[in-house]
Structure 1
Amino acid sequence: MTNSRRRKGLVAASALLGGVLMLSACSGGGDGASGSDSGGKDTSQAKVDEAAAKKTSEAQIKITPKDGSDNASINNSAAVTVSKGTLTDVTMTSNDGKTVSGEMSADRTSWKPTGQLARSTTYKLAATAKDADGREAHENATFTTVSPANSFIGYFTPDNGTTVGVGMPVSINFNKSITNKAAVQKGVSVTSSSGQEVACHWFNTTRMDCRPQDYWKAGSTVTLKLDLDGVEGASGVYGIQQKTVTFHIGRNQVSYVDAKTKQMKVTQNGKVIKTIPVSAGAPDHKTYQGQMVISEKFKETRMNGATVGFTDDDGKGEYDIKDVPHAMRLTRSGTFIHGNYWGAPSVFGSVNTSHGCVGLQDKQGADDPNTPAAWFYQHSIVGDVVVISNTGDKTVAPDNGYNGWNMSWDQWKAGSAV
C-alpha cells in the first residue's frame, strides 16, 4: 500500500470514528464536559433545584381567619402564627386606613390585636417572617367582621362589682330573637361562692333569667360568664360577647306587706327589725300578691296614671304627681313601694287607698330619716325582696319584673333549654 492510500484510509477511519463519537454523544455518553456526571444524571437541573431551594424560606405563616372570610369574630378571629421561623413584621389595617395595634409574643411566633375589633369592618393583615437562614416568607389576608344584623348581644343585670339583695336574679335580655336556646344557654355560666345550684329559665325568645332554688346566701359572690363569641343563636346570627361579671350579695333583707293588717314587717337575716304602717291598693285597684324584687330606686320620680292605664274621660291620667318621694320599683308594669305625702297620716295602717302601689308615710321635699318612707328607702338596696299578701288580687307574673321567685323550683327548671 502506498503512502497516499494509507493516508486516505486513515482519513476514512477518522471520519467513521468521528461519526461514532457524535452518535455516542447524542445518546447520552461522553465525558463531564457535556453536563452529565459519571452516573448519567443531569447535574445542571440539580444545581438549579438546589439554588431555588436555598432561596425559599422554610418559615410557614398562618393567618386566621382565612382570606376572604366574612362574619368573622370581633374577639378571636385575627391572629398570626409562624412555624420554622420568627415574625419580623405584622401590619393590620381597617378599611378606613387606620392601623390596628397588636401584641407580639415574646418568642415572636405569634401576634394578635390588643383590643376588640369593630363590627361590619374589613381588615387587611400582612405578615413577614424569617427562617433560621434569614430567608423571608410573606403572607396576606383580608376578612370582614360580623355585622350588627348578623350578631346578637345580651344586656345583663346586675352590673359588675355591684352589691345587691338576696332576691336579684341574673337577667339577660338579648337584642335578637334566640331560636337555638340550648347553644346560647351553654355559653352562659352562673356560679356562686355559696355553692348553690343555679338554673336558668327562658321566659321567651329574648329573655333568660338565672337563680338558685332559694334566695342567694347573704355575703356570697356570684359570677356570670358570657362565652357567646361565635355561638349561632339563630340562623346566620352569631354572638360576640366574651365577658366575666361578678357581683356581691349583701345582707338578707326580706320585707312582708300584709294588705289586710296594713302593716309591713322588715326582716334582716330572719329577724324583724322594724314594723311600718302602709296603705296598699284600694278595693277597685288591688295590689298584686307574691314575691317581688326591688329593681330600681328613685329618691324622687314622677307618676302619671296615664302611663299605666288609669285615665279619666278626657284621656288624662287620674293622677299626675311630679315628685313622688323614695320610690322603689317592684314590677315592670308600674307597681312601686313609695313615700306618700299627700295622704292623711291616719290612712297608713288603717285604709288601703292607692291605685295598686304600696304607700308609706312621707314628707314633701324633705329627706327626713324619721319618716317611714325615708327610713325604708335608706335601708333598702336593689335586689331586696318585698312579699305582699292578702290583697285579693292575683299573684304577679314571674316575668313582670324580676319576680321569678313565684315559680316553684320544678317549674323554673322546666324552662331551661339545657
Structure 2
Amino acid sequence: MGSSGMRSIRVGAALAVGGTLLLATACGSSSPKGGGTPAPVPPGGGKGGAASSPSPTASSAVLDLEPKDGTQDAAPTALKVGVANGKLTQVTVTDKSGAAVQGSISADGTDWVPATALSVSDTYQVKASATDDKGVATTASSSFTTLTPSKISRSQDNVVTGSTYGVGMIVSVDFGMPIKNQKAAEAGITFEASDGQQVKGHWMGNQRLDLRPQTFWKPGTTVKVHFRLKNVEVSPGVYGNSDRDESFTIGRSQVSTVDAAKHTMTVQTDGQPDQSIPISSGSDEHPTYNGTMVIEAKEGTAHMTSASVPGLKPGEYDLQVPHSARLTDSGTYVHGNNWSSHDTFGSENVSHGCIGLEDDPGNQGGPNTPAAKFYDSSLVGDVVKVVNSKGAQVAPDNGLSGWNMDWSAW
C-alpha cells in the first residue's frame, strides 16, 4: 500500500480517538475547558447518579372492627376493636348524637372494649388507629346500628324515691317473667350506700331478685339504686328496657320481738326504753311463723277473709281489720284486734297466724290503742322477729324475709 493510503488510515484513527475523548470530556464535567454545552444534572443530584425516592411502606398492623361496617341489628354487647401485628393508639366511638362512648385499650394494646353495653336502637361511628412494630400507622373506620328489642321485661320494685324505710328494708325487684341471664340482670342494678355497705342480690326463683346488705342498715343511711337494664339482654331476645335512679333513707331503728309463748311483743326503738306490749299470736292449730320478718306494707284497714285459708272449718271469718301492717305475702300481719276480750292479750294465742294487738271497736279501730300506737310508729322496713312459736320457720321468699338466710348463702 502507498504512503498516501497509510496517511489516510492514521487520520481516520485520530479522528475516532478524538471523538471518544471529546465525548468522555463532555460527560465528565458540566463546564469543560474550552466551552461546550453543559450536560443536564439529573434530579436528586449526585455525581452522575440517577434520581431515587423511598417507596411507601404499608403497615403490617391489621385492625379488626366488630360489628363490621354497615351491620344492622347489632347486639349492644357486640362492639370490639382489635389489632393483629401491632398496637392500638386511639379508638373513638360516638353515637348518633355525637356523644362519645367510654372504653379502654387493654394493657397489651391489642384490644379495646366499651365500659358498658351500647344503647339499643342507636347508630355508632367507630374510628381506630394502630401502629406496627416499626411505627408504621394504619387506620380503619366503620358504622353500624344496634337492634331494636322486640320483647322487653319489666323491673318493678318496692322502692318509692324519697321515702324513709326501716333498718330491715330489702329491695325486691319483680321482672314479671322468667329471667335466663340472671347474672347480667343482677349486674344491671347497683347500689351506693352512704355508710359504704355492700349490697348483694339473691334470686327468689327465676323472676324475683331481692337485694340487701349483710346486716341491718344503719339508721340515717342514704341509699341510691341505679337501674341500667335497658340495654341488657335478660333472656334470649328480651331486654330490660329500664334505666332509672331511685333513692331512699333509712330512719331510726325499730326492732320488735314477739315471744309467742309469753304472749308479748318487746319493741326496741333507738333512744327509747324498751316497750312491752301484750299480744295474741297464732293458735296451736294456726301458729305464727317463727323467724325474722319485715313490714312490707302498711295497709290501714284491711279486708281479711278465711276464704284465703283453704279448709278452714270451723272458724270462718270475714272482717275489716284496723291498723294492719303486712309481714308476709301469705297473709301474716301485725294488726289491731277489736273482737277479742281485753283479757285475751298477754294470755292467749287465738289468731289464725297473725299478731294481734288490742284495738277499739269499729273498722278504723281507736286512735290511742296499743294497735294504733304501734302502727303509727312503724315504718315499712321495720323488723318483727317471732320466737317460741309452734309454727314453722318463715321462708325467705315469703315477704321480705331474706334475713333468715345466712350471708354466705345469700
TM-score (norm 2): 0.64
Pick closer, same or farther for the CA change 1:270–1:257 going to 2, 3 Å.
farther
Q: Match for residue 188 of structure 2?
A: 187
CA-CA distance at 1:310 after TM superposition = 4.8
Counting only pairs closer than 5 Å after superposition, residues 370-385 of structure 1 correspond to structure 2 as 370-385=368-383
The one-letter code of the counterpart of 2:96 is A
Give yes or no for contact 1:310–1:318 (8 Å, CA) kept in 2: no
Q: Match for residue 386 of structure 1?
A: 384
1:359 paired with 2:360, answer: no
Counting only pairs closer than 5 Å after superposition, residues 18-417 of structure 1 correspond to structure 2 as 69=73, 79-81=96-98, 145-147=148-150, 150-269=151-270, 272-312=273-313, 318-321=316-319, 323-365=320-362, 367-412=365-410
Q: Match for residue 9 of structure 1?
A: none
Deviation string for 1:283-305 (max 9, x for gaps)? 11111000000011122111001
The one-letter code of the counterpart of 1:253 is Q
Q: CA RMSD of the aligned region, Å? A: 3.0
CA distance in 1, matches of 2:349, 2:98: 71
CA-CA distance at 1:272 after TM superposition = 4.0
User: Identity of paired residues, percent?
Assistant: 43
Give yes or no for contact 1:72–1:145 (8 Å, CA) kept in 2: no
CA distance in 2, matches of 1:210, 1:166: 13
Pick closer, same or farther for the CA change 1:70–1:318 going to 2, 3 Å.
farther
Larger-Rg structure: 2
Pick closer, same or farther for the CA change 1:143–1:391 going to 2, 3 Å.
closer
Pick closer, same or farther for the CA change 1:213–1:71 going to 2, 3 Å.
closer
Pick closer, same or farther for the CA change 1:282–1:402 going to 2, 3 Å.
same
Give yes or no for contact 2:74–2:145 (8 Å, CA) kept in 1: no
SS at match of 1:79: coil
Pick closer, same or farther for the CA change 1:334–1:310 going to 2, 3 Å.
farther
SS at match of 1:189: strand
- Alignment length, in residue pairs? 288
Unaligned 5+ runs, structure 1: 1-64, 83-116, 124-140, 413-418
SS at match of 2:408: helix
CA distance in 2, matches of 1:337, 1:266: 13
Pick closer, same or farther for the CA change 1:277–1:382 going to 2, 3 Å.
same
Deviation string for 1:313-361 (max 9, x for gaps)? 8xxx81111x210011010001111001100110000000011111010
Give yes or no for contact 1:188–1:227 (8 Å, CA) kept in 2: yes
The one-letter code of the counterpart of 2:376 is Q
CA-CA distance at 1:66 after TM superposition = 7.1
CA-CA distance at 1:67 after TM superposition = 8.9
CA-CA distance at 1:68 after TM superposition = 6.1
Q: Match for residue 85 of structure 1?
A: none
Give yes or no for contact 2:336–2:365 (8 Å, CA) kept in 1: no
CA distance in 2, matches of 1:144, 1:185: 22
Instruction: Name the stretch that deviates more: 332-341 or 187-196.
Output: 187-196
SS at match of 1:409: coil
Unaligned 5+ runs, structure 2: 1-68, 78-93, 100-118, 123-143
CA-CA distance at 1:253 after TM superposition = 0.3
CA-CA distance at 1:142 after TM superposition = 10
Give yes or no for contact 1:188–1:226 (8 Å, CA) kept in 2: yes
CA-CA distance at 1:206 after TM superposition = 0.8
Counting only pairs closer than 5 Å after superposition, residues 5-20 of structure 1 correspond to structure 2 as none
Give yes or no for contact 2:282–2:350 (8 Å, CA) kept in 1: yes
CA distance in 1, matches of 2:202, 2:147: 35
CA distance in 1, matches of 2:283, 2:349: 5
Which one has a larger percent helix, Structure 1 or Structure 2?
1
Q: Match for residue 41 of structure 2?
A: none
Deviation string for 1:233-270 (max 9, x for gaps)? 11111121111110110100000110011011111138
Pick closer, same or farther for the CA change 1:407–1:270 going to 2, 3 Å.
farther
CA distance in 2, matches of 1:254, 1:392: 21
SS at match of 1:381: coil
CA distance in 2, matches of 1:342, 1:234: 50
CA-CA distance at 1:205 after TM superposition = 1.1
The one-letter code of the counterpart of 2:149 is V
Give yes or no for contact 2:171–2:210 (8 Å, CA) kept in 1: yes
CA distance in 1, matches of 2:408, 2:73: 44
Give yes or no for contact 1:70–1:146 (8 Å, CA) kept in 2: no
Pick closer, same or farther for the CA change 1:247–1:310 going to 2, 3 Å.
farther
TM-score (norm 1): 0.63
CA-CA distance at 1:232 after TM superposition = 0.9
